[in-house]
Every structure is written in C-alpha cells, then in structure tokens.
Amino acid sequence: MKSMPLPRTRKLRIVAQDPSVKDSDGNILTTEIEIPAEELAPGPRGYRVHIVDYDTSTGTLYQPQPYNPLKDGCYTDPYAEIEKENINELLTEPGFHAQNVYAIVMRTLARFESALGRRVSWGFQGHQIYAAPHAFADANAFYSKSDQALAFGYFRIPSKDDESEIIFTCLSHDVVAHETTHAILDGLRERYTTPSSPEQAGFHEGFADVVALLSVFSLKDVVRNLLLKKSKDKSGLGIKSNRVSVKDLTEKHMRASTLFGLAEQMGQALSGIRGNALRRSAQLPTLEEQPSSTKKSVPYLKRKEFQEPHRCGELLVAAMMNAFLKVWLKRLEKYVEERDEVDVSIVVEEGAAAANHLLTMAIRALDYMPPTDIRFHDYLSAILTSDRETVPDDSKYEYRKILRDSFAAYGIKPAEKADADGYWNMVDGNFSYDRTHFESLLREPNEIFRFIWDNRSNLRLETEEDYFGKAYMKVQSVRPCLRIGPDGFIVRETVAEYIQMTTLRADELPDLGINIISEIPDEMEITLYGGGTLVFDEYGKLKYHIQNSIFSRTNQPERIKYLWRYGYFSNPDFTENIFFKMHLNRVLTQHVDYTEGF
C-alpha cells in the first residue's frame, strides 16, 4: 500500500494585523496563514524557529503549547475552532501568543526563501532562532545576534475606563515581521550592521519596515477590513454593498483610506516601537509636495535631521510604499474604464498582487547589492536590475519605472556606476575560466577565490598594487539560486560575495588619495572595508560585479568622517546589541508609559 505524501504546508491562525484592528462586531481580526509544514514539538518548536516563552521580568516560564502529530494527512491548529464570541480571549492566551510569533516568523522566512530561490541561514552559527513572546516588561522588541533570539516585550497603557491595558508586541504582525527581517538580513549581509553611514544604518530599519508593511498588505482579510472600516470615514472610500466608487480610486483617496489608514492603525500604543515611524514615513511629502517655505532643492539625504538612522530609513519606506500605491492604482485601471463602481474584492486582490510582487522585488534586490558600505542608490539599482533578470518585459504595469520615479521624488537616483536607466552594467572584459571548475564555481568559496585571484586585474582589484596584497580578502558566501518570474520564466544564478579589509594609520590614508578630516590623530588606526558581489549565470559565466572599493576616494572619506563625528572610534562596543539600542532610543523619545509585570 502506497503511503500518502507528507503535506508541504499547513495553516495556523494569527492576529491579522494587531489587536487594535477590530471587525464589525468589535472583535480582534484574525486570519489563517499558510506556512511550511513540519512536525512541531511543544512550544511550538520547529527546525528553524524555537519558541521559548520565558519572562525575565517575573521569572515565569510559560507552559509550551502542544501540537498534534499528522493525522489523516493533515495537521490541526489548536486555535482553529475557537468560537467567535470567545475570540478576544486569545489576547491573554500565552499559547496563542507563542503560535502567533512562530507562524509570522516562519511566513517571513518562507517569503524570503521563495523570492531568493534558496534556503536562507541566520546570521549566527545554528539552524534555529529562539523567540520569546513575553521576554520582558518593556516597550521594546529586538533581534539579538549574540543571544540568537528575537525578544518581544509587553507594557501597560491607560485605557478609556481608567484601567490599564496590556500591550503585547508579540501580537503585532508588523513588529514580529520587522524583527524577523532584521535577523534574516543579518544572515544575508552580515556587514550591514557595521557602522558606515546614516544610509547603511537606515537601510536595516527601512528595509525591515518595507517587508513588514508589504507583508501585511498581502493579507487580504486585513485590506478588506480596512477598506470597509474606512468607508465610514469621510476621508475613506465610498463603499456600499461591497462596491467601490470609481471616483474614489485615486491616489488622494487611496492614500487616506488605505496606505495612511493602515499606518495609523499599526498600533497606536506601539508608536514608540514601530507605528509612529510608519505613519510619518507614509506621509512624508515628496520634494515637489513640500511647501514653498522649505528648500525643495536640498535632497532629504543632505539634511541634518535625516542623518539619524531612523529618519533616514523612513525615506526608503516612503519611496517604496508610494510606489506600491501607484502600482496598485495602475493594476486597477482596466477595471475602472466606463464603470461607476468596482467590486471591493477586485480592489483587495489587485492590492495583494501588487504587494506580493513588490515584496519579491524588494527581497531579490539583496543579491545585487555590494556587501559593504551600501547607499540607497545601490538598493535602487539592485532592485531594478534583479527584477529585469526575471521579468525582462515590464511594460504591463511598469513596476520599475514607477520605482525609479518614486525614489527620484525623494531625491534618490540610481547609482553612479549604473547605466542611464539605473541598471547595473554587465561586466565586460576577457575573464579567464581556464583554471576554475564549473561545478565547484557554483558552490565552493575556494573556487570563487581562485577565480577572483586569476581575474583580479579585470575585476579592478589591483588599483593599488602595494596595498592589494596587504588587504585581507575572504569569499564570504556562495549561493546557487533558482528564481521564477511571474510568467514562469526561470533564471538560474550563483551569487557570491567577497569582503576586503585592512587596518592602516590615519597618516597613511592620504597616500592612497583618501583625504580625511584634520581632527583625526595621525597615529589612530582605521579599518577600511570593501568588497563586491559576483553574479554568475547558469553556465558559470560572470554577469555582474557590484563592487565598493576598499580604497574608494569618495566613500571612505565620508565613512571615516561619519564615524569620527558620532564617536564610533572611541566606543569599541557600539555594535553590541545594536537593534536593542536603536529601538530603545526610539521608545525613549516617545514617552511611552509602562510598568513591570501583568
């Protein structure tokens, strides 16, 4: 008798957005999401995520939630059959909190692996990341590389009836997805946490926000509920009998009813952690939209307030989310011709489709970015180039054109090394493959290093011959990928990244053309970082070399000046628990009241 194949996916119930979002009956909005299936140990604990529900503030270890084994070819959800009148009890059920975290972490991880076409590792040695849904009594949540963990806090706020209400960050889809993205990005690009510029620090925060927001918009239950709820507001969409008025399907109305509406509801009480920044970035005016009293000619990135990483990251969120809105409306154009109304289901479907495609683009771009000292223009060129590889014809919805225009509206142009349309230039030159082996080249770091060594001249790694040999070089990763476009078009690639580093005295740098500010003592040792990303095609031929030179005469002086001005050279522990500190600083500026215990 033949055995049935094991299911590849399973469904688990989660809070659809966060507990502040209610349905028409005033109950929290939940939804079922599909995630990779596995035999779960109590916790839940799986092969990539291990929930450990220990509260350090009260010393409480919560009982692990058990999960039934496979039965009749299906996995069961312990919270699938809860009665509607009891749905709000999930807010105080620790077992459901644990499931909410596990499911969202797994969904986020699976989304990255689907977009990148390969398995994704964490940024530490080990296969499982720990997650603590009730880690401490504090208005914070963060990823800790040293602890190999995601930690979610809880806190109290006053409620309307003069009683306090407990806010659990682990119940916010946005917060969980955001922190998971930090952990995944750290595994993909470990040098992005090294201080380099406001843009590199801001990219970690901004990119995590983008993933979280687009992930929420891909949940159809959330978008539908939001559209219907906002229809009661004068600024919202006019929806009657599940129909949307065509005159309301404009950028102005959609901003008010969906994009800004979602950001406003992203947890009022969580504004110190995520919500306030999301509202502010969603409403950030373009350079042309600013009042005449402001200096429109001064790009955001040149302004003092945007030297702070969180404010800097908001530019990335604003550019991406406004591009999402424009794509959404473009996808709806075919439904509004010669019509007065459109079914709300169509609006929801097209919004989810736009969010999914943009999220795939956002993630795939990581493979086309330099491994160190990144800027937003690098990301823009990366997202354009990576999408062109899998979707050569972008004429239907013009995602890439809309993205170019949206980034430009905030003063972000493609990289200088890109072509006129913003795409990375493909390599030219006569590369030697004679002493490398095709099979090894697709997965072996030593083979990649041999290729680099044999082709260091064509790769322009010998600009400073005297120092090239002194700089430490390491091939950090080799990743075969299988990407599938929306039309089924398949692209096989191998992505390898190498890093370079060297430590020199400050007075040695001018000899390399790296001019630094005079305040830095001559005897101070300064470590320079550089590196590149190599993208090979399915035949092992190099397509792209995306490089930030270790001896750059533009990037390195800017980086050194930034580190000196902000005191990084005098504080060797600045990277210790970096995400905890960044999020704590945001919380402290929001004056959130919280107490210990619950």
- Convert the pLDDT of each residue in 463-499 to its tens digit: 545 555 568 899 999 999 998 887 788 899 999 999 9
- CA-to-CA distance for 151 and 169, rounded, in angstroms? 9
Q: What are the average pLDDT values for consecutive 10-residue runs of the chain, which has 598 residues?
A: 80 88 80 94 96 94 92 90 86 95 97 95 94 93 93 83 80 92 95 89 92 89 71 50 80 70 53 56 80 71 86 92 94 87 90 94 97 95 96 94 96 94 92 89 92 90 57 91 84 94 91 90 92 94 94 90 84 57 49 31
Read off φ and ψ for residue 431, nearest 5 degrees: -80, 145
Calculate the dihedral angle through the C-alpha atoms of 535, 537, 539, 545, rounding to the nearest 10 degrees.
-30
End-to-end CA distance of the chain: 54
> Could you report the per-residue pLDDT of 35-90, keeping only the tens digit for each?
999 999 999 999 999 999 999 999 999 999 899 999 888 899 999 888 888 888 99
pLDDT score for 119? 94
Please tell me the total number of residues recorded for the chain in this structure.
Answer: 598
**DSSP-derived secondary structure for 279-338:** HHHHTPPPTTTS-TTS-TTS-GGGSGGGGSHHHHHHHHHHHHHHHHHHHHHHHHHHHHTT
Question: 153 near 169, Cβ under 8 Å?
Answer: yes
117: three-class secondary structure by DSSP: coil
What does the pLDDT read at residue 589?
Answer: 43
Please tell me the distance from the alpha carbon of residue 305 to that of residue 307, in angstroms, as a whole number. 5
Pairing of strands 60-61, 164-168: unpaired
